[in-house]
A and B are shown apart, each in its own frame.
Chain A
Amino acid sequence: MASSRAPLAITALGVLLSGGLSMGGPAVSAQFIQQPPRPSGFDQIQNWFRLSRQHTSGTIDDAAKQAASWSSFTYQYLIEDMQLVRLLVLQANRLGIVATSTSSSNTKPVSAEIRGRRMTLEQLGPILGLTKEETGGPLSAESLARSDGQARRAIAQVMARAMLMQTDIAMAGPDDLPANAGSRLAASAVQLRDGRESTVGNIAVHYALAREAAALVMSASEGTGVARQWYFATLAYLQAERNYAALLPHLETARITMPADGKIWLWSGVAYENLAAPAVQVAAEGTSARIEAPSMLYARAEGFMRKALEIDPVCAECWLRLARVEQLSGNADEAMALLARAEPSLKSPELKYYAALFVGRAAEAMNKIDDARAGYVRAMALFPQAQSPRLALAELAFRDADQALALSSVRTMFVTAGNRRALDPWWNYDVALVVNWPDLVADMRKTAAALLQAR
C-alpha cells in the first residue's frame, strides 16, 4: 500500500513527469452517475465509523475497499454529517464550559442542526460506535467540555481511525482499490503525463472528509500532535505526488487550522511556485486543467513565503525560495539580496546547491556574467556530476563567443555524468521540501497508534 510512485514522475498540475500531477478540472458529467437519495438517518456515517474500527491502518483491507467504493455523493453526505458532528461537539463543549464556569449542570438539550438535519448528543455515542465505558459515562456537555477528558479522547480515537482509513484510501495505488473506485468520484481531475491529458477521479474528497475527522482529533489535547503530524504527512505526500487538485484545498485548511506554523505557509508558497513553473504552465496549455497565470501564482507564492518569514525570520529555506520567486518575477536585484541572506545559513548540500544556481541565474539577469559564472562554479563544486551548472557555464561561454570552451564544458558534462542517472538536485527542486514524506507518514502512523492505544 502507500505510494511507491517515483515523485519525479508527476507534475503538480496533474502532469506526470515521473509520477503524475492532478489539477482540479471540470466535473464529470453527472448524467452518468445516479445521485442516491439522501438518507434520513445517520446510518451511513455510522457505517463509516464502523468500517474504520475494522480497518487496519496502512492497508487496503476489505473495510477500506468498501468505503472506497462509495460515490462522491455519499462522501458529500458524509462530509455534511461530519460537519454536524463537529458542530454538535462544539455546542456541547460551549455549554459544558458555561456550566463548569458557573458551577452548575447543563440542563439544556444538546443538539446541532444544519440545513434541517438535526443530531442530538444522545445520538452521537451510538453513531460513533462508542460505549459508555469508553466515554466514561453518557456523553454530556460537561464531559465534552474537557479537552483532556476521557470522552474527548474517545471521540478523538474514533476520528483518528476514520481519518487514517480515508487517508489510506486516498494514498492507495490504482491497483489496490476496487475497479469502480475512481469512476464513482464525480469530480474529476486532469492528469497530465508527458504532455498527454487524461481524466482521473479527484481524490480531494477523501482528504476533505479526513479533514473533518482531523478537526475533532485536533480538538482533544491528546490528539493535537497526531492531527498536526497528519497534516504534514499528507501535505508532503500530495506535494511529492504533484497532486495539486487535492493539495491546494488541503493547504488552505491547514493554514486556517495551524496559522502560527511557518512551515505551512512556506509549503503553500512552494506549491504556488511550482504551479507557476514553465514546465507546469506549458503542460497545462490547451488542456482542460485550470491554472492561473504565472504572475498571479508567483504573487501568491511570495505572499505565503513572506508570511512564513514573519513567523520564522531565520528560516533560511524561506529566504532561498523567496529569492527564487523574486527572480522569476523579474526582480533579480531583490533575489540576489535574499540569496545573500540565505546562503550563509543553509545547511544541506542540496540547499546550498540551489542557492548557487539561483545566484547564477539572478546574476545573468543582471548581466553580471562573472558573478553568474562564480555561482555556477560553486554549484558544480557541490555536485560535480550534476549537469545543470556545467550546461550553464557552457551556455555562458557560447554567449561569450568561446565556442571551444562551450563544447568542452558540454563534453565534460557527458563524461562526468555519463549515462548514469547521476543525481542533479535541480531535477527534484519542486519536491525537495518533501522528499522525506515516507518518514513523515510512518511517524504519523506511529503517533496515531499511540493515541489509539491510550486509555
Chain B
Amino acid sequence: MAARFFTTVVLGTALAGAAVMEARQPQSPAPLPQQTPQQEPARPVFSARSDVVRLDILVTAGDKAVLGLKAEDFRILDNGIAQQPDFVSFDQLPLNVIFAFDVSGSMVGQRLDDLRAAGHGVLDQLRQDDRAALVTFSEVVSLGTDLTPDLKRVGGALDAGRALGLTSLVDATFSGLMLGGTDSGRSVMFIFSDGMDTSSWLQPSAVVGAAKRANVTIFGVTIGKTKGTFLRDLAQFTGGDVVEVQSTKDLKNTFVRLLTEYRQRYLIGYTPTGVSATGWHQIDVTVPRRANTAVRTRAGYQAR
C-alpha cells in the first residue's frame, strides 16, 4: 500500500505545478459539518494522493545562508537510502504563517504589547500571496483568524483580546498544526509561550506525533529557559528551532529573524523509493560539494 502523506497530498499537488493543481481542485475538503454528539460528519475522500515528501532545508556556512544551490547539490537519504529530488524551490511559494500565541494571565501589560508588536513585525514582512492565521491560547484555545491573505484582519485580531487564564500550549499547537497543514504553500508556525502547559488535554507526545506527519515547520520562542521537551521535540521533528529570549522586548527581532531564515530555505520534494511505505523514516540531508556547511531540516517523517 502506498504511503499516505495526507498533508503532502495537499501541499504536494500545489508544488507539482498546474497539472497537480488541476487534480487538487476537486479534492478540496467537504464543507465544515457541525460535529454533534449524535452524528459523525461525512468523511471526505481524497482520490488523488501524492507520495511526495517535502523538506524545508536551511543550508548555512557559519551564520550565513548558502544560496543558489540546485537539486544536484543535495544528497538526501531516507532511512539510509539515497533519494532523487523531484523539485527544488527557493522562495517561490507563498507562505502560510500560523501564529500560536500565549495570552495567559502572565502576559498582561507590556509583555502582551511586545508580543503584538512581534506579530505585526512578521506581518509587515509578508508578501501579497502569503497568508497568516492567528491562534491564541490561555486555557481556551481561540481562533483569531483562519488562514487569510487579509493581513490587516490578522493584525486586527492580534490587537484584540486580552491576557487572562491558564496555558493550553499543547492543545493550541495541535490546533495551529491543523490550520497550517491543510493548505497549499509552505507552512510555518511561530509558537510563543512564557510558561508551561498547565491545562491541555492532548498529550505532548500525541501532538509531536501529529507534527511528524504534518508539513509545518515549527519555531518555538520562550522567555528564559525552555522547560520540558515539547517545543524542542516539535522543532527537531519539523526542522524548526527553539529560541529563548530574555525579555519580550526581543520578540519582534526574533520573529522577523526567524521568518527571514525560513525564507532562505530550499523546498525540496522527492518521491520515496526503495524504502518502506510505513513507519518512521529518518531523513539525512547533506551538501557534499560544499565544505563547512550545516544543514537543518526535519528529522524525518511518519509514513502511514
Contacts and interface: CB of A to CB of B under 8 A. Distances in A.
A407 B29 contact: yes
Interface in B139-186: 139-143, 146, 161, 164-168, 171, 174-175, 178-179, 181-182
B121 interface: no
B106 A193 contact: yes
Interface stretch (A23-31, A101-109, A382-390): A382-390
B225 interface: yes
Which of A193, A384, A393, A412 has the most CB atoms of chain B within a 10 A radius of its CB?
A412
Interface in A349-405: 357, 377-378, 380-381, 384, 387-395, 398-399, 401-405
B175 A391 contact: yes
Interface stretch (B16-24, B60-68, B189-197): B189-197
Interface in B182-227: 182, 194-199, 201-202, 204, 206-207, 209-210, 213, 223-225, 227
Interface in B235-267: none
Provide the main secondary structure of the chain A interface: helix
A401 B197 contact: no
Contact of B207 (A279, A286, A381, A395): A395
A442 B116 CA distance: 44
A166 B51 CA distance: 69
Contacts of B297: none
Contact of A17 (B37, B143, B166, B227): B166
Contacts of B174: 391, 394-395, 410
A391 B34 CA distance: 14
Interface stretch (A85-93, A144-152, A204-212, A416-424): A416-424
Contacts of A388: 171, 201
A39 B166 CA distance: 47
B105 interface: yes
B32 interface: yes
A420 B210 CA distance: 27
Contact of A8 (B165, B179, B225): B165
Contacts of A194: 104-106, 167, 194-196, 198
Contacts of A380: 35, 37
A422 B199 contact: no
Interface residues of A, number: 57
B289 interface: no
Nearest to A406: B178
A409 B41 CA distance: 9
A405 B32 CA distance: 9
A168 B209 CA distance: 49
B224 A195 contact: yes
B199 A426 contact: yes
A78 B36 CA distance: 61
A421 B165 contact: yes
A300 interface: no
Contact of A195 (B142, B181, B196, B207): B196
A411 B35 CA distance: 10
B44 interface: yes
B35 A412 contact: yes
Interface string A12-38: 000101100000000000000000000
Given A282-B196, A283-B196, A391-B175, A413 B141 contact: yes
A387 B141 contact: yes
Given A387-B171, A391-B171, A392-B202, A410 B178 contact: yes
Given A380-B35, A391-B175, A394-B178, 9 more contacts: A11-B198, A194-B196, A196-B195, A278-B197, A402-B6, A407-B179, A419-B140, A421-B140, A426-B199
21 contacts: A8-B139, A17-B198, A18-B166, A194-B198, A195-B223, A195-B224, A278-B197, A286-B227, A380-B37, A381-B37, A384-B37, A391-B201, A395-B206, A402-B43, A403-B182, A410-B174, A411-B143, A414-B143, A417-B140, A417-B141, A424-B139
Interface of B: 4, 6-7, 10, 29-30, 32-37, 41, 43-44, 104-106, 139-143, 146, 161, 164-168, 171, 174-175, 178-179, 181-182, 194-199, 201-202, 204, 206-207, 209-210, 213, 223-225, 227-228, 304
